[in-house]
Amino acid sequence: MDLDRLSALGQFGWKNTLTQEAMRFDEALEPTRVIEIHRSGLIVAPDVAAQKEFVLGGRWFNLPADERPTVGDWILVNPETRAVETLLERMSLIKRRSPSGEVQPIAANIDTAFIVTSCNSDFSLARLERYLAVVRQDGIQPVVVLTKSDLSDDPESFREQTQSLGGNLVVELVNALVEEDLSPLASWCGPGQSIALLGSSGVGKSTIVNTLAGSALQDTRASREGDNKGRHTTTRRSLFRLPTGGVILDSPGMREFQITDADSGVHAVFEDIEELALDCKFGDCAHASEPGCVVRDAIESGQLEERRLQSYFKLLREDRNNTETIVERHARARDFGKKVKAHVHTKLKPRRG
Task: Report the 10 Å Cβ neighbour count for 194.
Answer: 26
Number of H helices, E strands in the chain: 9, 13
SS3 helix, strand, coil % of the chain, rounded to 5? 35, 20, 40
Contacts of 241 (CB under 8 A, 6+ apart): 11, 12, 213, 247
pLDDT in tens, 224-256: 444 444 444 556 888 999 999 999 999 887 777
Cis peptide before 46 (omega within 30 of 0): yes
Please tell me which residue, 6 or 86, carries the higher pLDDT value: 86
Q: Is position 341 within any domain? A: no
Q: Judge contact between 197 and 250, C-beta under 8 A.
A: yes
Q: What is the DSSP secondary structure assignment for residue 245, as one 8-state letter?
A: S
Give the whole-angstrom CA distance, residue 326 versus residue 97: 9
Residues 315-340, mean pLDDT to the nearest whole number: 76
User: Which of 87, 120, 141 corresponds to the end of one domain?
Assistant: 87
Q: Is position 287 within any domain? A: yes
Residue range of the domain that includes 213: 93-250
Instruction: Let me know whether 283 and 159 are in one domain.
Output: no
Measured CA distances, 66 to 39, 103, 186, 253 (Å): 16, 7, 30, 19
**pLDDT at position 351 over 60:** no
CATH number for the domain including 43?
2.40.50
**pLDDT at position 301 over 90:** yes
Instruction: Let me know whether 9 and 63 are in one domain.
Output: yes
Instruction: Let me know whether 148 and 78 are in one domain.
Output: no
Instruction: Let me know whether 111 and 66 are in one domain.
Output: no
Q: Is position 83 within any domain? A: yes
Give the whole-angstrom CA distance, residue 97 versus residue 124: 20
